[in-house]
Amino acid sequence: MSALFALTALALIFGAILGYAAIRFRVEGNPLADEIEAILPQTQCAQCGHPGCKPYAKAIANGEAFNKCAPGGEETIIEIANLLGVEPIALAESAHKEEDGKMVAFIVEDACIGCTKCIQACPVDAILGSNKKMHTVIAKECTGCELCVAPCPTDCIEMRPVATTPSNWDWKLQQIDVRIVEEDQP
């Protein structure tokens, strides 16, 4: 009976210590950064210059430019601009290569040894394969971040442009802000 009492007393003491520590050493997050992170595509591709979407969201909340997310594209930029209450700006030149267009990884089958290093490097799980078997890339999932190219020991991964089809055609039209103005009627 005394052992049960001793364990209960220890549990209460440690619980009180943990409760105090939780209140005393609480780390408050930035709610704006959390909202921005919810808008970002969560590809963790590092194309923006940050190791993931959360650090990039924190940087945006601290005033860094919000136009570096290539996988999110213009839609993400517009959503973040609306959240921040500022005008949207074009995707940064460093975030995409306009002259090349969208690129996707392609694995040359004859050179692939199945080492799985590209699978481990892919932030969006766009590469399928298993150990000592040939790998392949799911083109519609690939963001073109090129993170899989460097770890490949046989240089069997190439970045190739996405073929233009009716489903991915981009007219590059300038967005026009159309607003309906209600006139006073008698």
DSSP per-residue letters across 73-130: HHHHHHHHHHHHTS---PPPGGG--TTT-SEEEEE-GGG-----HHHHH-TT--EE--
Residues of CATH 1.10.15 domain(s) within the chain?
31-95
Q: Is 2 helix (H, G, I), strand (E, B) or coil?
A: helix
CATH level 2 (architecture), domain 31-95: Orthogonal Bundle (1.10)
**Is 142 part of any known ligand binding site?**
yes
CB–CB of 7/28 below 8 Å? no
pTM: 0.55
From 3.30.70.20, 3.40.50.150, 3.40.50.2300, 3.20.10.10, which CATH number describes the 103-161 domain? 3.30.70.20
* Range scoring the smallest mean pLDDT among 77-86, 138-147, 161-170: 161-170
CB–CB of 139/162 below 8 Å? yes
**Is 156 part of any known ligand binding site?**
no
pLDDT tens-digit map of 46-68? 788 888 888 999 999 888 888 88
* Range scoring the smallest mean pLDDT among 72-76, 120-124, 145-149: 72-76
